């Protein structure tokens, strides 16, 4: 992707879809890689107890170091950013030029949803926001990978975010799940986060050999013409292999079709971010 001017204030995007296995983690990790490699300072936040984004970057989810769990369940909101600073890991690989950091998940995060539910409504939804807001100065992009549910972790991510990126698998009934998600986003807009936008819908696992993929894209574009990104992420075995080596597609096979798609999608995210930046009150 091309280098261009970084946003003046870090943007927080969450990658959400309550449906499992649609490409949330693959999209978050690979966009983070292309953004970092092109010189943007990126923090990837793994908000899923499956810790797939954490292991996709080669970090052991069983390691006994602070993680997002400690950040969300630190005693008061006031020291959440201190807990975050302790938990952040630098992904120190030359290709990222020191620009890629990870706030990792851990197996403990599975309990966070239940523990947060016991906390007072009105504060429990804003833990992540309290932790991440101070880091807008340090990063150009903060990308939050959400779990496949609309529980408190996803609500925390939607409350903290400037915008949501929706990965949507090109499959039958994709639109129905999308409607459920957009209803939730409307509720969040009314209650928790009045400035939440949809940055875009990323169509994933596009199979050019079948009519179904093309039909699904057509149908989703019919309802969300401005939201759907132009880049269609193809179904690619290389994309699914990379995480098992703890590598992003940029490192594992930069000449693959999947890599080209995520490079192009990163360009679109940067372009839309510039527009969003122009409209976000500083
Ligand atoms: P979950 O809801 O469980 O968190 P997810 O939405 O994060 O899942 P991923 O983990 O990114 O989805 O992808 C689900 C599976 O599909 C993984 O095995 C991943 O490697 C594979 N996958 C994702 N995108 C592609 C693609 N474009 N081509 C082929 N396989 C893909
Ligand atoms: Mg995932």
**pLDDT tens profile 29-66:** 999 999 999 999 999 999 999 999 999 999 998 998 99
Among 69-83, 130-144, 194-208, the least confident range: 69-83
52 pocket-lining for ligand 1 (C-beta < 6 Å):
yes
User: Using one digit for the tens of pLDDT, what is the confidence trace for 92-150?
Assistant: 999 999 999 999 999 999 999 999 999 888 889 999 999 999 999 999 999 999 999 99
Q: Whose CA is nearest to atom 23 of ligand 1?
A: 23
Ligand 2 is an ion; its neighbours by CB within 5 Å are 24-25, 52
265 pocket-lining for ligand 1 (C-beta < 6 Å):
no
Distance of CA 193 from the midpoint of ligand 1 (Å): 28
Q: What is the pTM of this model?
A: 0.95
Q: Render the burial of 32-66: b for 16+ CB within 10 Å, e for the rest.
A: bbbbbbbebbbbbbbbbbbbbbbbbbebebeeeeb
- Most informative mutation of 25, 150, 257 for ligand 1 (most atoms within 8 A of CB): 25
Q: Whose CA is nearest to atom 2 of ligand 1?
A: 20
- Most informative mutation of 21, 169, 201, 213 for ligand 1 (most atoms within 8 A of CB): 21
Position in ligand 1 atom list of the atom nearest CA 233:
27
40 pocket-lining for ligand 1 (C-beta < 6 Å):
no
Among 11-15, 164-168, 182-186, 278-282, the least confident range: 278-282
DSSP string, 208-270: TTSHHHHHHHHHHHHH-TTTB-S--PBP-HHHHHGGGGT--HHHH-TTSHHHHHHHHHHHHHH
Residue 282 pLDDT level (bands cut at 50, 70, 90): very low
């Amino acid at each position: 992707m091309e280098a261009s001017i970084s946003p003046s204030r870090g943007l927080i995007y969450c990658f959400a879809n309550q449906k499992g296995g649609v490409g949330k983690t693959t999209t978050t990790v690979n966009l983070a890689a292309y953004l970092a490699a092109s010189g943007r300072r990126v923090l990837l936040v793994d908000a899923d107890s499956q810790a797939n984004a954490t292991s996709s970057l080669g970090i052991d989810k069983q390691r006994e170091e602070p993680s997002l769990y400690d950040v969300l369940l630190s005693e008061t909101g006031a020291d959440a950013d201190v807990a975050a600073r302790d938990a952040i890991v630098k992904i120190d690989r030359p290709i990222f030029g020191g620009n890629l950091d990870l706030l990792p998940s851990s197996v403990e995060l599975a309990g966070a949803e239940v523990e947060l539910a016991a906390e007072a409504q009105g504060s429990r939804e804003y833990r992540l926001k309290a932790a991440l807001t101070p880091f807008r100065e340090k990063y150009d992009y903060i990308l939050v990978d959400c779990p496949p549910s609309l529980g408190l972790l996803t609500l925390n991510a939607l409350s903290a975010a400037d915008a949501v990126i929706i990965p949507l698998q090109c499959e039958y009934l994709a639109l129905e799940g999308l409607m459920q998600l957009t209803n939730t986003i409307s509720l969040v807009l009314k209650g928790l986060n009045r400035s939440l936008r949809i940055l875009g819908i990323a169509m994933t696992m596009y199979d050019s050999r079948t009519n179904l993929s093309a039909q699904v894209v057509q149908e989703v574009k019919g309802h969300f013409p401005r939201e759907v990104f132009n880049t269609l992420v193809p179904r690619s075995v290389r994309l699914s292999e990379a995480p098992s080596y703890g590598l992003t597609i940029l490192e594992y096979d930069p000449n693959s079709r999947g890599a080209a798609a995520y490079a192009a999608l990163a360009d679109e995210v940067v372009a839309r971010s510039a527009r969003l930046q122009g409209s976000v009150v500083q």
